[in-house]
Amino acid sequence: MTEFGFIEQIRRLFASLPDQGFEGIGDDCAVLPLAGDEALVFTSDLLTEGVHFLRHATTARELGGKSLAVNLSDIAAMGVSPVATLLSIALPQDATQQWALEFMEGYRQVAERYATPLIGGDTTRSEAGITINVTAIGRGPVSHLKRRRDARPGDRIFVTGELGGSGAGLREILAGHLDTPLAALHRNPVPQVDEGRWLGARHEVHAMMDLSDGLASDLRHILDLSHTGAEIDLESIPVAAGADLQTAACGGEDYKLLLTAEASAAERLAAEFRIRFGTPLYPIGRITAQEGLVWLRAGQPEALDWRGFSHY
């Protein structure tokens, strides 16, 4: 059973429960509208040793920072600001007290950068392997929320940074090269918190999500939920130095944002983004009414069986 197959079964099993005012499973975060134009959003990510990280290939401090960063990325993808997190961590006997404290220092460093307090969680013993769960809470105007289902035919598709660096870094780590710049990039993702909040405030941005499983996989969620298709110009995908095009399209854990925006406002949006952040908003294609994901090379469809990165 794939992760998505299991999630779909869970969704059906719980569909008849009262919603208590929440919008649930399906987006980067669950949403709870509050009074006025305000909402809270919620997300959880679980990291397990040997699957999401190799203890010998990361410092405790890096892992602490990454555990938080990947959750803040989900909040950013909704277009609002992170406001708090809960951290649960299970530690085996062979994880020392020093390791645990360095992990917390790494977590704190990212928490401080984004002014996000740690409000709760759990610490416990593990029989085997380190397991980490972070729940992040975000807050912002309801009118700023960006959902995967809101892409519209004609929208331009953008990504907020170069892709493939993390995937290439993971390949280097697995080959035993831990000290390269890309390996460090893989271990130290930077969540686009400020970019997400800024894009949230722009009404011309329709759908948004973060790139955690790779463009080829993540974009399909937007297309499925929006009942649209897309054309992606292979030449336009911004490939990180040291990565190749396929890794940029299929590698995971870049934690850049993927968004669609009204075509008529897209140029101005990209120009203002560059003024605000000093980096481009990369246009990579268009949303189409015709369903399906089409890769174009020099404007011609190319049959590529590219899928994203899957842990499960």
- Cβ distance 267 to 156 under 8 Å? no
Stretch that binds a copy of itself, among 2-10, 148-156, 257-265, 282-290 (CB under 8 A): 2-10
Q: Which is nearer to a copy of itself, 52 or 206 (CB)?
A: 52
Shortest Å distance, C-beta 243 to a copy of itself: 25
Per-residue string for binding with a copy of itself, 161-200, x by CB under 8 A? ----------------------------------------
How many residues line the site for a copy of itself (CB under 8 A)?
72
Decide: 118 and 75 in contact? Cβ < 8 Å: no
Alpha-carbon gap, residue 63 to 40, rounded angstroms: 26
Nearest approach, Cβ of 190 to a copy of itself (angstroms)?
Answer: 19
For residue 137, the minimal CB distance to a copy of itself (Å) is 7
Q: State which residue, 110 or 239, has the beta carbon closest to a copy of itself.
A: 110
Closest approach, Cβ 13 to a copy of itself, in A, equals 5
Q: Does 56 bind a copy of itself (CB under 8 A)?
A: no
Amino acid 154 reads: G
Q: If binding is defined by CB under 8 A, does position 8 make contact with a copy of itself? A: no
Contacts of a copy of itself in 14-43 (CB under 8 A): 14, 17-25, 29-30, 32, 34-36, 40, 42-43
Q: Rule CB under 8 A: which of 192-251 touch a copy of itself? A: none
Q: Closest CB to a copy of itself among 148 and 202? A: 148
Give the CA diameter of the chain: 58
**Is residue 90 a contact residue for a copy of itself (CB under 8 A)?**
yes
In the block, tokens 């406001």 appear at 83
> By CB under 8 A, what part of segment 65-84 binds a copy of itself?
83-84
Within residues 95-154, the interface with a copy of itself by CB under 8 A covers 97, 100-101, 104-105, 108, 111-112, 115-129, 131, 133, 135, 137, 139
Residue 44 contacts a copy of itself per CB under 8 A: yes
**Please, which residues have CB within 8 angstroms of residue 262's CB and are 6 or more apart in sequence?**
152, 154, 155, 156, 204, 206
**Residue 197 near residue 79 (C-beta atoms within 8 A):** yes
| Min CB(165)–a copy of itself separation in Å | 23
3-state SS class at 125 = strand
Nearer to a copy of itself, 203 or 311 (CB): 311
How do 300-302 and 81-91 pair as beta strands? unpaired
| Distances from the Cα of 132 to the Cα of 67, 76, 83, 123, 163, angstroms | 7, 21, 20, 9, 26
- Cα 26 off chain centre by: 14
Shortest distance, position 194 Cβ to a copy of itself, whole Å: 16
* Interaction between residue 93 and a copy of itself (CB under 8 A): no
Beta bridge partners of 89: 123, 132
φ and ψ at residue 81, rounded to 5 degrees: -105, 140
| Burial readout 58-75 (b: 16 or more C-beta within 10 A, e: otherwise) | bbbbbbbbbbbbbbbbbb
Distance, CA of 164 to CA of 253 (rounded, Å): 9
